[in-house]
């Protein structure tokens, strides 16, 4: 029990519970199954991207190009739709091609970070400019609506199983898959090892460059899946629709307990971080709080959460060093 | 020993090269109206880039810098639209910015949260505060005299705002290179533990870094609001990532410890020439972003290979000597 209480995820969960209790008094709509399904479905894109970002932040890097990368894939999907037939094979094809495009774009980031050793924030800043600039140049900033979409894709978007929209299953699959990779595969353990201590992990034989390459490519891969989710959720392609979302994604990961120093971070934590941001936004709308105050609350919560985390982290470090001193004397 | 040019001088030569190239191949680039246009656009971006550079030298980053600028602009605008004079308005604008900078500084230096996280949070926070104050509307209608700051000339040739930029270039250069604080900024950036153990109060140094960055943001905001004669929540927000790019292209080490004022200024000039030249050539405005992103990556890739090459050379020479 003590172990559970000490976990970072627990404090996020506690905050979520408190907000839930408050909001369910404020608005009777809040604590309904339909509202929660809406919240989760609406945050599938952020959630999928946040899962990929978790791996990058665990290895103490950052990727600010995610939103631009995802938009680039959505636009590619939009162009592909013109050539795809109107049957189910096009849905399958999209699920093959979109993640592949994303992975290639992510691998480009990964290559520059791992081989050329340019700091990740600089690389992804550059690719953010390149991706979004090209997208706006090609589309001219114009919206592509669903008239060109294959009917099968539109049908896919509307699938519900047991009353739960298909996107939520997709989200769950991504979350579970990534959790599995982190927990049970060699590459996943290497990600955590490099985050924990890059030098020692290289000494025990982990290929640093390969792992960096993996986390950025995997981010791109998930960007491709997020692009499908975005296209299916909005039934349209908006070249500006995701602008600035990278910061929300990073905020969600950080709220979930991943630390930019690296080494810490988990999929459940990130999911809670996404959920916390999501219910806050939803709750503030339901509570009829002025839209303009929502950013103030979100910003304040981010600052408080990271400060609290840092203070806790430092206290633990001090405790550890105390033990060392006592044992030595 | 052949005289080797510093990284910054090479960048300066590139800037001159681009300027000459653009003048030769782009009609109207080297016209007096276009040149004065560029001189008016430079200061606001240059000031923010300088502020960003100082923060990056400490190994940090300030993602909230453009919202600090917008907040300070809103402060000054509210004073003026409520009938106060220009001077009190400017002072209030600067105080607004310093308050934001102090907030960043306290969280970074006292609590020790990584700057990228703090400023990510405060960026959303400040944006929210501005939205709550302005309800997302633009504030406009400033006294005529105020518009002189961003649009006026000194002695009929040099834009006033360019002189302000020059003043802050020199000031930043002197502060970083000659003052105790400036030397400590570099020390902190290259090794904060060693700096602490040599008796430097790190938290004070950091605090001043964030205050100085916010001061530059405020000055930039005053120039921008005066030039546009209005202020909105997204005032200067396009300069955020560009200023990081300019600092890095200017040779500032993103991990801290190195960075020169002139490098950043040359990078700002390069961006300005390219943006302006491409616009005159009729290129799509989003292509400019692509070019800037590509330059950033290409230059750093080039740096990597030239470093590798010179290291190999250095490894080989001793063997030959022996």
Tell me the range of B44-53, B129-138, B150-159 where mean pLDDT is highest: B44-53
Spell out the residues 6+ positions from residue A173 whose beta carbon is closer than 8 angstroms to its own: none
The string of DSSP codes covering B151-190 is: H-EETTTEEHHHHHHHHHHHHHHHHHHHSHHHHHHHHHHH
Alpha helix stretches (DSSP H) within chain B: 7-25, 32-57, 65-81, 86-106, 115-134, 144-151, 160-178, 180-190, 192-197, 202-228, 239-249, 261-280, 285-321
CATH topology of domain A2-328: ABC transporter involved in vitamin B12 uptake, BtuC (1.10.3470)
Question: Are B125 and A295 spatial neighbours (Cβ–Cβ below 8 Å)?
Answer: yes
Is A137 an interface residue toward B (CB < 8 Å)? yes
| Strand-strand pairing, B230-231 and B158-159 | unpaired
Give me B312's structure tokens. Answer: 């190999």
- Local confidence band at B2 (pLDDT 50, 70, 90 cut-offs): very low
Q: Among the listed ranges A67-81, B85-99, B198-212, B275-289, which one has the minimum average pLDDT value?
A: B275-289
User: Which residues of B lie closer than 8 Å to A, measured between beta carbons?
Assistant: 61, 63, 107, 111-114, 116-118, 120-129, 131-132, 135-136, 241, 244-245, 248, 254-255, 284, 286-294, 296-297, 300-301, 304
* pLDDT the model gives residue B319: 52
* pLDDT the model gives residue A285: 83
- Within-domain flag for B316: no
Mean pLDDT, range B74-97, rounded to an integer: 91
- Within-domain flag for B302: yes
User: Least CA distance to A136: which residue of chain B?
Assistant: B286
Say how far residue A227 (Cα) sits from the centre of its chain. 12
- Within-domain flag for B17: no
pTM for the structure as a whole: 0.85
C-alpha–C-alpha distance, residues A44 and B29, integer Å: 48
Nearest to A310 among B112, B129, B135 (CB): B112
Is A126 an interface residue toward B (CB < 8 Å)? yes
* pLDDT the model gives residue A289: 80
Question: Are B41 and B151 spatial neighbours (Cβ–Cβ below 8 Å)?
Answer: no
Nearest to B296 among A117, A126, A135 (CB): A126
Mean pLDDT, range B304-310, rounded to an integer: 78
For chain A positions 104-123, those within 8 Å of chain B (CB to CB) are 112, 116-119, 121-123
Yes or no, beta carbons of B304 and A311 under 8 Å apart: no
Answer whether residue B269 shows pLDDT above 90: yes
Nearest to B293 among A116, A130, A295 (CB): A130
Torsion of CA B14, B16, B22, B25, to 10 degrees: -90
Yes or no, beta carbons of A129 and B129 under 8 Å apart: no
Is A80 an interface residue toward B (CB < 8 Å)? no
- Local confidence band at B317 (pLDDT 50, 70, 90 cut-offs): low
What is the domain extent for residue B280?
7-11+27-309
Give me B190's structure tokens. Answer: 């290259």
- Local confidence band at B318 (pLDDT 50, 70, 90 cut-offs): low
Helix axes B285-321, B239-249, angle to 10 degrees: 20
Spell out the residues 6+ positions from residue B211 whose beta carbon is closer than 8 angstroms to its own: B98, B101, B102, B105
- Within-domain flag for B189: yes
- Within-domain flag for B165: yes
User: Least CA distance to A312: which residue of chain B?
Assistant: B111
Number of domains in chain B: 1
Answer whether residue B277 shows pLDDT above 60: yes
Which residues from A are below 8 Å from B290, CB to CB?
129-130, 133-134, 137
For A65-93, write each residue's pLDDT tens digit.
Answer: 999 999 999 999 888 888 877 778 888 88
Which residues from B are below 8 Å from A247, CB to CB?
63, 120, 123-124
- Local confidence band at B70 (pLDDT 50, 70, 90 cut-offs): very high
For B25-48, write each residue's pLDDT tens digit.
Answer: 888 888 888 888 888 889 999 999
Quick one: DSSP state of residue A64?
Answer: T
For A243-289, write each residue's pLDDT tens digit.
Answer: 778 888 988 898 887 877 767 788 999 999 999 989 888 888 887 88
Answer whether residue B52 shows pLDDT above 90: yes
* Low-confidence residues in chain A, pLDDT < 50: 1-2
Is A13 an interface residue toward B (CB < 8 Å)? no
> What residue segments make up the domains of chain A, in order of their start?
2-328
- Min CA distance, A292 vs chain B (Å)? 5
Quick one: DSSP state of residue A258?
Answer: -
* pLDDT the model gives residue A241: 80
Interface predicted TM-score (ipTM) of this complex, two decimals: 0.80
C-alpha–C-alpha distance, residues B210 and B215, integer Å: 9
Which residues from A are below 8 Å from B137, CB to CB?
none
* pLDDT the model gives residue A104: 95
For B170-213, write each residue's pLDDT tens digit.
Answer: 999 999 999 999 999 999 998 888 988 988 888 999 999 999 99
For A29-50, write each residue's pLDDT tens digit.
Answer: 888 888 889 899 889 999 999 9
Residue B285: which CATH number?
Answer: 1.10.3470
- Within-domain flag for B36: yes
């Amino acid at each position: 029990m003590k172990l559970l209480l000490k976990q970072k995820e627990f404090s996020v969960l506690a905050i979520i519970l408190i907000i839930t209790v408050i909001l369910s008094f404020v608005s009777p709509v809040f604590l309904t199954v339909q509202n929660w399904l809406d919240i989760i479905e609406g945050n599938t894109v952020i959630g999928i991207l946040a899962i990929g970002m978790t791996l990058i932040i665990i290895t103490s890097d950052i990727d600010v190009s995610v939103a631009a990368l995802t938009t680039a894939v959505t636009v590619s999907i939009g162009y592909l739709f013109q050539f795809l037939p109107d049957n189910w094979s096009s849905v399958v094809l999209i699920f093959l091609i979109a993640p592949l495009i994303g992975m290639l774009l992510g691998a480009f980031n990964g290559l520059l970070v791992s081989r050329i050793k340019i700091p990740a924030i600089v690389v992804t800043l550059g690719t953010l400019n390149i991706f979004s600039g090209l997208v706006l140049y090609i589309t001219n900033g114009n919206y592509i609506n669903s008239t060109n979409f294959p009917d099968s894709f539109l049908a896919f978007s509307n699938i519900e199983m047991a009353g739960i929209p298909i996107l939520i299953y997709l989200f769950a699959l991504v979350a579970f898959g990534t959790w599995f990779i982190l927990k049970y595969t060699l590459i996943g353990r290497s990600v955590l090892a490099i985050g924990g201590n890059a030098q020692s992990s290289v000494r025990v034989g982990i290929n640093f460059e390969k792992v960096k390459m993996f986390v950025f490519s995997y981010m791109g891969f998930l960007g491709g899946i997020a692009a499908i989710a975005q296209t299916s959720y909005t039934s349209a392609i908006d070249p500006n629709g995701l602008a600035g979302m990278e910061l929300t994604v990073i905020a969600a990961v950080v709220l979930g307990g991943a630390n930019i120093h690296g080494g810490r971070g988990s999929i459940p934590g990130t999911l809670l971080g996404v959920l916390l941001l999501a219910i806050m936004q939803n709750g503030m709308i339901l509570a009829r709080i002025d839209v303009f105050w929502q950013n103030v609350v979100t910003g304040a919560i981010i600052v408080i959460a990271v400060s609290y985390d840092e203070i806790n982290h430092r206290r633990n470090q001090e405790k550890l060093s105390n033990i060392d001193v006592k044992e030595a004397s | 020993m052949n005289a080797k040019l510093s990284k910054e001088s090479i960048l300066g030569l590139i800037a001159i090269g681009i300027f000459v190239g653009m003048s030769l191949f782009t009609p109207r680039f080297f016209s007096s109206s276009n040149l004065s246009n560029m001189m008016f656009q430079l200061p606001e971006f240059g000031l923010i880039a300088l502020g960003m550079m100082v923060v990056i030298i400490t190994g940090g980053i300030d993602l909230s810098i453009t919202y600090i600028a917008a907040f300070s602009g809103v402060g000054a605008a509210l004073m003026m639209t409520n009938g106060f004079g220009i001077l009190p308005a400017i002072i209030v604008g600067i105080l607004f910015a310093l308050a934001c900078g102090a907030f960043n500084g306290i969280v970074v230096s006292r609590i020790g949260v990584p700057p990228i996280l703090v400023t990510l949070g405060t960026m959303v926070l400040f944006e929210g505060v501005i939205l709550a104050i302005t309800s997302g509307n633009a504030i406009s209608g400033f006294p005529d005299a105020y518009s002189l700051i961003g649009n006026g000339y000194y002695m009929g040739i040099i834009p006033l705002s360019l002189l302000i930029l020059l003043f802050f270039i020199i000031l930043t250069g002197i502060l970083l290179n000659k003052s105790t604080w400036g030397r400590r900024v570099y020390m902190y950036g290259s090794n904060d533990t060693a700096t602490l153990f040599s008796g430097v109060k790190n938290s004070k140094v950091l605090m001043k870094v964030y205050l100085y960055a916010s001061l530059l943001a405020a000055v930039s905001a005053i120039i921008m609001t005066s030039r546009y004669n209005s202020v909105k929540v997204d005032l200067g927000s396009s300069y955020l990532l560009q200023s990081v790019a300019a600092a890095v292209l200017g040779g500032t080490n993103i991990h801290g410890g190195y960075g020169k004022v002139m490098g950043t200024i040359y990078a700002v000039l390069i961006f300005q020439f390219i943006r302006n030249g491409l616009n005159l050539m009729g290129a799509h405005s989003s292509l400019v972003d692509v070019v800037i992103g590509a330059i950033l990556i290409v230059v750093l890739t080039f740096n990597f290979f030239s470093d590798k090459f010179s290291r190999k050379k250095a490894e080989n020479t001793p063997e030959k000597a022996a």
